[in-house]
Amino acid sequence: MNRRKLTILTAAGLAAFALAPAGAASAAGHRPLARPGRTTLAARSSARTGVSQGEYPSWAGRFYSVSATSAGDVWAVGLSAAGGQIAHWNGSSWADEDFVNGYQNVDAQSPKNVWAVGGTSWFYPTQTLARHWNGKTWTQVATPTPGGSAWFNGVAATSATNAWAVGYIGGGPGDSGYTTPIIERWNGKVWKQQYFRLPTNPGSFNAVAATGRNNAWAVGGTGVEGPNGALIEHWNGHWWRRIPANTPYGFGYLQGVTAISPNNVWAVGYTDSSPVYLSLILHWNGKRWSVVPSPNPTGQTDLWAVSGSSATNVWAVGYTNPNSCGNGGPQCGTAAFRWNGRRWIVTSTVNPPAGYLDALSGVVAISPDDVWAVGTTDWSSTIIEHWNGKTWQD
């Protein structure tokens, strides 16, 4: 997730949630919404905001990420008025739980091994945050915070003794300022900071994917006032190595990555084709990264996440009109593209009633007829959508 872009969108009028205990005033002067600690909502129930959200519930806040181990074990994480929220789908209903801190990403490796990461503050300073699900309870696990303030954007686990978390050194996503990329690794006992060659310009890692102990990818971008270049690092079991992204003119900003196999990896984001953002999709074939033509249904697209269950079932999600919504232009709308093994296809997504923005920020592909996507409406309420093989439903 592009921290600078989120700050700009918030300044344009998005409802920002401060990561603070319930009852505390946010930095924007808004009063956080009071919510019960845990509520289970069956299908076709209404959200706590009182607005019907069709098949699936909507809570106050926003979802950033979703992951699954099976059709009956799906997790979504994000922000709420209390700080953060973690929701679970058990195959028939969604349950949502509040936490004091905020969560940016989740990875479910097994029903008893799920990691959620983020930070303790939306602003400066913030501490890195990792919480682990063992099949019964969530437990916060100590993580290093390099530089005294850092944030996790992504997490990927391949076993109970191997997980990666990536992000940056700097203030929380609501803070402006230079950042430095970080990588940390879980060895089954502790999280430890990893070492790699830093980029010349400030930047961050926004996502990580892994197929095993000896194969992991961290992606992000560099830039001070805007995206200067895509940032890609590869772990080969011994060290991290910078891999050229081969993006047009060297520009691009990557925000999601998925590894289907060591020779089949996808990364998504956007490229700054002034004055608009265009979707950017890269593919790794085992030897090099290359740009794959991607849709821009409204002429502007920003992709935030990607997930695949096979070589012919890969999904990328984000939103349209990133340069205009909130600035008097067309509204931002949800976007979901499907890779069928030959090309990327635009699918028709659901857009709940919004003031100016609907966006999808997380996706998990379980099978060709079982895909979940999550996001937000106006940064103030969550979106959950499901693909059943034919249509998206919310």
pLDDT tens, 23-71? 222 222 221 222 223 333 222 223 333 244 568 999 999 999 999 999 9
User: Residue 25: what pLDDT?
Assistant: 24
Q: In terms of pLDDT, which residue wins out, 300 or 30? A: 300
Q: Is the pLDDT of residue 127 over 70?
A: yes
Q: In which order are the strands placed within the sheet that holds 370-377?
A: 358-367, 370-377, 381-387, 392-393
The label of the residue with tokens 């990691």 reads: 115
Other CB atoms within 10 Å distance of the CB of residue 197: 10
Torsion angle in degrees (nearest 10) through CA of 341, 346, 347, 348: 180
| CA–CA separation, 152 and 170 (whole Å) | 11
The pTM (predicted TM-score) of the whole model is: 0.89
Quick one: average pLDDT of 378-392?
97
Q: Domains along the chain?
A: 3-393 (2.120.10.80)
User: Residue 30: what pLDDT?
Assistant: 20
| Mean pLDDT (the chain, rounded) | 86
Cis peptide before 275 (omega within 30 of 0): yes
Q: Which of 76, 111, 109 is nearest to 317 (CA)?
A: 76
Strands 93-99 and 191-193: unpaired
Percent of the chain with pLDDT over 90: 76
Q: Which of 51, 134, 1 is nearest to 383 (CA)?
A: 51
DSSP character string of 85-137 = EEEEE-SSEEEEEEESSEEEEEEEEETTEEEEEEES-SSSS--EEEEEE-SS-
| CA–CA separation, 309 and 85 (whole Å) | 26
pLDDT digits (tens, 9 = 90+) for 65-118: 999 999 999 999 999 988 999 999 999 999 999 998 999 999 999 999 999 999
Strand partners, 103: 118
Contact 110, 158 (CB under 8 A): no
**Backbone phi and psi for residue 147, each to the nearest 5 degrees, phi listed first:** 75, 0
| CA–CA separation, 16 and 2 (whole Å) | 15
| CA–CA separation, 179 and 322 (whole Å) | 23
Q: Which of 142, 253, 148, 143 is nearest to 204 (CA)?
A: 253
Contact 328, 379 (CB under 8 A): no
pLDDT digits (tens, 9 = 90+) for 148-206: 999 999 999 999 999 999 999 999 998 888 899 999 999 999 999 999 999 988 999 99
User: Residue 391: what pLDDT?
Assistant: 96
